[in-house]
Chain A
Amino acid sequence: MDHSGAPSDGSVVRAVLSGDVDQFSVLVRRYRDRYARYAAHMLGSIDAAEDAVQDAMVRAYTHLAQCREPDNFAGWFFLILRNRCFAERRRTRWESDLENIGEVAAPEQTESALERSEAVEGLQRALLRLTAEQREVFVLKHVEGLSYDEIAGRLSTSVAALKMRMHRAYDRLRELLEAP
């Protein structure tokens, strides 16, 4: 257990693997929303993100015995969800996402908030025109606030490769957002 008294991920994983299936709900509660924002930005809608999280959770349960570091269930689950998001992006065309953009942006009320909402929507629309790899590095760095080193560790790639991907994303976003 950690300092809060809650069981660690490792102990929950071991309990599930010992046959107490209901304990898996602890991990569901703990991580259902943690990567929802990432999935929503990757897929362009909250509905799609919810489907992805559901599939990834069931897949995590099915393959739980392959989780080599039970105390790092979060990192392992993220990679499963990431694969699910990339597979979904390959399967669908970006045009289908554009109808759902408003789902990710928050409903706003005031005039200045409306302007921001439009800017947010415009950026989200442009993000969906990037490659999945470009969009992912932008989301992880600028939405989730990770450093290049942290992203590189999580995705098992180099910082140089990530920077190249990001800088191409900047230029592409500019092209899309400043287009007449």
Chain B
Amino acid sequence: MKNREWNDQIKQVLDGERELESLPPDLRRDAEAARRLLLDAIDRQPVTLSPALDARIMSRVRSRAAGRWPRTWRWLSAPTIPRWAMLVPVAAAALLVVLTRPGQQADRPTQAQAVYVRFELYAPRASRVSLAGTFNRWDPAATPLVRIGKDGMWTVTVALPSGQHQYGFIVDGRNWVPDPAAPTVDDGFGRRNSVVSVNTNNGRIL
């Protein structure tokens, strides 16, 4: 029977803790096959739940609350957060270059209203850099950056629709690097995603 257990060094490659190039040729082939079998087949597409979910949750929450606090107590303990605060849009600071004339961009616009945004990262020791975000389903292979010159600057231009987008750079296929020039938000798992907000009405990046 064929041994189905991978060598520990191959598992370290899968873990991102060992470079593929450090393995002897025979193990390297197996490690490449292991990566194709497991890591290349991972679906990282974000999952969006039904828009009706919020109403269903709040309906159940309110029904539970009805038996919890007397009406007078709820009136006395008025909200501590003004309601207008909920309406303030999330705005990210400008950090990227907007190209007003589409034509030589890496990604073609998928919507009629799109703004071309150039992403840049200074990574002189990187052998490859890619961009992953909400706009490309967090696919680390979808949007590679191109090295410009010899001073370590990497860049790519992407057409983004109006709205807020979260993203990050992936250096050498395994290191997640937030954009040092952009604001970040907690991704809910203890790390930071960079944020860019695009307004297609006037081509501005907020």
Residues of A within 8 A of B (CB): 1, 3-7, 11-12, 14-15, 18-26, 28-29, 31-37, 39-41, 46, 49-50, 53-54, 57-58, 61-62, 74-75, 78, 104-106, 116, 119-120, 122-124, 140-146, 148, 150, 153-154, 163, 166-167, 170-171, 173-175, 177-178
Contacts and interface: CB of A to CB of B under 8 A. Distances in A.
Contacts of A140: 189
Contacts of A105: 43
B104 interface: no
B41 A46 contact: no
Nearest to B50: A50
Nearest to B84: A5
Contacts of B187: 34
Interface of B: 4-6, 8, 11, 14-15, 34, 37-50, 53-54, 56-58, 60-62, 64-65, 69, 73-74, 76-81, 85-86, 88-92, 137, 176, 183, 186-191
Interface of A: prevailing SS: helix
Nearest to B72: A19
Contact of A7 (B4, B43, B77, B86): B86
A20 B14 contact: no
Nearest to B184: A3
User: Which 3 A/B pairs are nearest by Cβ-Cβ distance?
Assistant: A5-B88, A19-B77, A119-B41
A54 B191 contact: no
Contacts of A39: 47
Given A154-B190, A170-B6, A123 B38 contact: yes
A71 to B, nearest CB: 10
Given A4-B91, A20-B81, A33-B48, 18 more contacts: A7-B86, A18-B77, A20-B78, A23-B81, A25-B58, A34-B187, A36-B47, A54-B56, A54-B60, A57-B61, A104-B47, A123-B41, A150-B191, A154-B189, A170-B11, A170-B34, A174-B5, A177-B37
Contact of A46 (B47, B61, B88, B91): B47
Given A74-B188, A154-B189, A142 B39 contact: yes
Contact of B47 (A49, A62, A166): A49
B47 A174 contact: no
Given A5-B88, A29-B54, A122-B41, A20 B186 contact: no
Given A15-B80, A74-B188, A171-B5, A58 B49 contact: no
B88 A174 contact: no
Task: Specify which of A46, A104, A145 lies most central, judged by the most chain B CB atoms within 10 Å of its CB.
Answer: A145
